[in-house]
Amino acid sequence: MLTKYKVAALPCLINCVIIKLPYGNELIELKGLNWSPIKMRALKGSSKKPDAQAQSIIETACRVLSIESQAIAELKSKIDSQFVEIVRHLSKCEHIVITGVGKSGLIGKKIASTFSSIGLPSLFVHAAEASHGDLGMISKGDMVIAISNSGETEEIVKLLPVFNRIDCTLVGMTGNMQSSLAKRSDYVLDISVKEEACSKDLVPTASTTATLAMGDALAMALMELRGVQEEDFALNHPGGSLGRKLLTLVDDLMHFGEDIPRVKENADIYQVLKEISHKRLGTTLVVGDQDQLLGIITDGDLRRLIEKKKDISQTRAKEMMASHPKTILKDTLAAKAVRIMQDHSITSLVVVNDDQKIEGIIHLHDILKAGVV
């Protein structure tokens, strides 16, 4: 009897014929072997030796990183008394304006954003647009940071007399200390680099990296001088994870009113189970006649009670509860509530006021759902 099978193999498909002989013996013969190769893709992280082109790409990338990291390292020698005076002046400013064009302008936007994030209102004004009305954004006493690697950018040079008439403090960030921008600025930050990472010296690379690093250095020095804390930073980032962590209070997430699970101290096991199931927090508070907090019963407490194999039908809430449950005030950060829960291996906290009266209950799941942790 002939039976034809398709046998899957890598990297091909094989058609074979199986011939069954009498007396239970079996002989397999591959007749008219047909196979079709299956195209295989190289796996990521293959150990295949890079070809000449790949090696060239890697060498170029490494050279760029070396040049740019060296450019940043050399800025350290340029942090001097001028830098200190600029930071001190920034600490007194109500807001600052940053201007530039091209790649320098893009870097300027990022620097302005960084200053704003640490609490110093900052805006970017494109140098070309400034000449057509945007100069109205600059007021007397403001600090203007003008960015130009050459120091001779036409759009910025045209604004120098205007900055002087407005009577603002001008900080020039330039790679040419003999330029028009450097000579007419109140303060100058030297952002010069030995070479660009572009082999043809066409694309601003090391110079823009150095400019960005100098801007970060200014912002972080100002942050230290002003004593900016996490809470201050979070006020400007309410939508981020840090903002949720530092701005979300227990009051924002707790269950209150009729949503608080509670039973009287003489409630039986059935009333306790009903309240825990109905309110779906895995726990219920035990309260006295004046609604004062006496204790707490969790579903874990009930399981442990059942494990003792005692008749619990007559057991009252006051006999099941754990006295002195962990409490927290509603104006406490939700992140602190998590730490308390972790320290005591619990999932709920009773929210009370200064007089220890019940105001609500907060569950770990509520905090996780809010993205606080």
Q: Look at residue 59 in the predicted model and tell me its pLDDT.
A: 93
Mean pLDDT over residues 298-319, rounded?
A: 84
Task: Please check whether residue 42 lies inside any domain of the structure.
Answer: no
Do 28 and 152 reside in the same domain of the chain? no
Q: Look at residue 244 in the predicted model and tell me its pLDDT.
A: 65
Do 70 and 139 reside in the same domain of the chain? yes
Do 314 and 347 reside in the same domain of the chain? yes
Strand partners, 187: 171
- List Cβ neighbours of 95 (8 Å cut-off, separation of 6 or more): 120, 121, 122, 123, 142
281/298 Cα distance (integer angstroms): 9
Do 267 and 188 reside in the same domain of the chain? no
Do 31 and 163 reside in the same domain of the chain? no
Per-residue pLDDT tens over the stretch 267-279: 998 999 999 999 9
Task: Please check whether residue 83 lies inside any domain of the structure.
Answer: yes
Q: From the DSSP assignment, how many helices (H) and strands (E) are in the chain?
A: 16, 15
Do 310 and 363 reside in the same domain of the chain? yes
Task: Please check whether residue 48 lies inside any domain of the structure.
Answer: no
Do 272 and 170 reside in the same domain of the chain? no
Per-residue pLDDT tens over the stretch 157-207: 999 999 999 999 999 999 999 999 999 999 999 999 999 999 888 899 999
194/192 Cα distance (integer angstroms): 7
Q: Of 178, 137, 136, 181, which is closest to residue 156 (Cα–Cα)? A: 181
Task: Please check whether residue 26 lies inside any domain of the structure.
Answer: yes
- List Cβ neighbours of 340 (8 Å cut-off, separation of 6 or more): 326, 328, 349
Give the burial string for 86-97 (b: 16+ CB within 10 Å, else e). bbebbeebeebb
Assess whether pLDDT exceeds 90 at residue 213.
Answer: yes
Do 32 and 72 reside in the same domain of the chain? no
Do 254 and 222 reside in the same domain of the chain? no
Q: Are strands 143-147 and 96-100 parallel, antiparallel or unpaired?
A: parallel
Q: Are strands 26-37 and 12-20 parallel, antiparallel or unpaired?
A: antiparallel
Q: Look at residue 245 in the predicted model and tell me its pLDDT.
A: 66
- 61/13: higher pLDDT: 61
Assess whether pLDDT exceeds 70 at residue 307.
Answer: yes
DSSP letter assigned to residue 280? T
307/72 Cα distance (integer angstroms): 66
Do 267 and 300 reside in the same domain of the chain? yes
Task: Please check whether residue 24 lies inside any domain of the structure.
Answer: yes
Task: Please check whether residue 234 lies inside any domain of the structure.
Answer: no
User: What is the domain count for the chain?
Assistant: 3
- 209/199: higher pLDDT: 209
Do 134 and 270 reside in the same domain of the chain? no
Task: Please report, for the domain that includes residue 174, its CATH number.
Answer: 3.40.50.10490
Task: Please check whether residue 59 lies inside any domain of the structure.
Answer: no
Task: Please check whether residue 45 lies inside any domain of the structure.
Answer: no
Assess whether pLDDT exceeds 60 at residue 312.
Answer: yes
Mean pLDDT over residues 336-354, rounded?
A: 91
244/182 Cα distance (integer angstroms): 43
Per-residue pLDDT tens over the stretch 242-287: 656 666 889 999 999 999 999 999 999 899 999 999 999 999 999 9
Do 222 and 259 reside in the same domain of the chain? no
Domain residue limits at 279? 250-369
Q: Look at residue 263 in the predicted model and tell me its pLDDT.
A: 94
Q: Look at residue 306 in the predicted model and tell me its pLDDT.
A: 84
Assess whether pLDDT exceeds 70 at residue 239.
Answer: no
